[in-house]
Amino acid sequence: MAKKQKKAKPARVKAAAKKPRKVVNLSSKKKTNGGKKTSGNGKSNTLPRPSTKPYGQDGKALTGVRILDFTHVQSGPTCTQLLAWLGCDVIKVERPGIGDITRGQLRDVPNADSLYFTMLNHNKRSITIDSKHPQGKRVLDELIKTCDVLVENFAPGALDRMGLTWEHIHKLNPRMIVASVKGFGPGPYEDCKVYENVAQCAGGSASTTGFREGPPLVTGAQIGDSGTGLHLALGIVSALYQRIRTGRGQRVLAAMQDGVLNLCRVKLRDQQRIEKGPLTEYSQYGEGVPFGKSVPRAGNDSGGGQPGWILKCKGWESDPDAYIYFITQAPVWEAICDLIGEPTWKTDPDYATPKARLPKLKKIFARIEDWTMTKTKFEVMEICNNLDIPVGPILSMKEIAEEPSLRKTGTVVEVDHPTRGKYLTVGNPIKLSDSISEVKRSPLLGEHTDEILKDVLRLPAKDIAEIKGSGALSAPKKEEKAA
């Protein structure tokens, strides 16, 4: 076995030496090379042998994939940042002189890239290109030929207006995957510009979030932007995988409305249930308030079949986060009764079964809260977890930022930046056991322009000088701007 692996190694090295980005190009070569079987069809005997390198020392999962990153603000950058963490070479194209608008938004350090930008653009390279300038278009065409995926989240039609239609891209590079975030999919709103909260509202989240008596609420989690970026990343990886088999790229669309709705699917479940009878796990049911025609806001009710609520803990009067989420999971009901000093509720027919408890949830949670208010949220956490009672402390961002275990796993990382200094960021939340994860600072505007022209596009010095001289890669001079 070991002998066989040794024999196979030089062939792989040779292939890699010919084509440095072997993952991507090998299958392309096979496809156009007399229709040989590819490694993706499950029948080939050319599947790579297991690596002989120790775990974690054989590159990253997506090493060899190059992304032309035309994203801005949050949704698209979330996607390409994740792909960069997973090993893609992400080349972010930015408008000369301005860059991604978020570089200057919500600035906390004068003249330095904002946290908004730095926290969404780690591990990327930045090139500035005026995509509407003829020489800028020339550079973009060259990049299209050398990249595997183009990711964008412009307003509908903007990419076409730059001349980067699917047909144009596909002609230049039939293997290219073109991935887009848009606010809406095809339909009445497809031309709309969309931001996070618009998506939360249009995707069903806002109408089902908040308290029954209050207005719809948006959530702090960026399910419209970052959530859709995650959906898009999965679409891209799937398209890359399919491309191994088909040899051709495809378009990937993640609409923010669809992404939010996907995350709200339990509410569409409830919409269908409400037509058949009341939603008995909603506290509204226990309170005797009739249901309307659509899913109501359910406050802090648990979305599943196990009732839950947010309860005050010791210190709540002064600490806005001294709360705990408490779930009265049926199998641990007896333990809960003993804990809160209501042992008779274990056998009392009014309390002993989940069904009997439904109309009394308010009273039950009030009684549990009498107990939680005598403990800190961390004490409740420790006591309840020992009894298998599911609870969750309401952690403030300050507590999360200071949590040692999150630092240890790389979920919260400190990064150094040349113009803003040290800052905290959320690292890659997806951990792979055979892929190194590192968080590198975001690029300065146009930091890698020269490097990309020279090393990626391999343009001769004379061409680079011509392109640069044309002004396609730099901000217009002040007089030009004014003219």
* List of residues contacting ligand COA (CB under 6 A): 73-76, 93, 95, 129-132, 153-155, 158, 161-162, 181-183, 193-195, 225
In whole angstroms, how close is the CB of 194 to ligand COA at the nearest point? 5
Q: Which is nearer to ligand COA, 182 or 243 (CB)?
A: 182
H-run or E-run covering 128: strand 124-128
Nearest CB to ligand COA, comparing residues 97 and 315: 97
The answer to whether the beta carbons of residues 129 and 138 sit under 8 Å apart is no
φ/ψ of residue 393, rounded to 5: -70, 145
Round to whole Å and give the CA distance between 83 and 411. 16
**Rg of the chain's alpha carbons, rounded to an integer?**
27
From CA 130, how far away is CA 384, in angstroms rounded?
A: 58
Smaller CB separation from ligand COA, 36 or 132: 132
CB of 341 to ligand COA, least distance (A): 50
Judged by beta carbon, residue 112 or residue 159, the one nearer ligand COA is 159
The SS3 call for residue 80 is helix
Which residues are CB-neighbours of 179 under 8 A, at least 6 positions away? 79, 149, 150, 151, 152, 232, 235, 236, 239, 251, 252, 253, 254
Residue 236 burial class via C-beta count within 10 angstroms: exposed 0-12, middle 13-18, buried 19 and up = buried
Question: Least distance to ligand COA from the beta carbon of 260, Å?
Answer: 12
Per the DSSP assignment, residues forming a β-bridge with 393 are: 324
Nearest approach, Cβ of residue 146 and ligand COA (Å): 18
Q: What is the DSSP string of 343-398?
A: GGGGT-TTTSSHHHHGGGHHHHHHHHHHHHTTS-HHHHHHHHHHTT--EEE---HH
- Cβ atoms within 10 A of the Cβ of 478, count? 8
What type of residue is 62? L
Smallest gap from residue 398 Cβ to ligand COA (A): 26
Q: Do 359 and 286 form a contact (C-beta atoms < 8 A)?
A: yes
Residue 79 or residue 361: which is nearer to ligand COA going by CB?
79
**Catalytic residue list contains 338:** no
Pick the catalytic residue from 113, 130, 148, 225.
225
CB of 157 to ligand COA, least distance (A): 7
Burial class (CB within 10 angstroms; exposed 0-12, middle 13-18, buried 19+) of 200? buried
Q: Which is nearer to ligand COA, 158 or 383 (CB)?
A: 158
Token output for 24:
């991507």
Least gap, CB of 471 to ligand COA (angstroms) = 12
Cβ nearer to ligand COA, comparing 77 with 296 = 77
Positions marked catalytic: 225
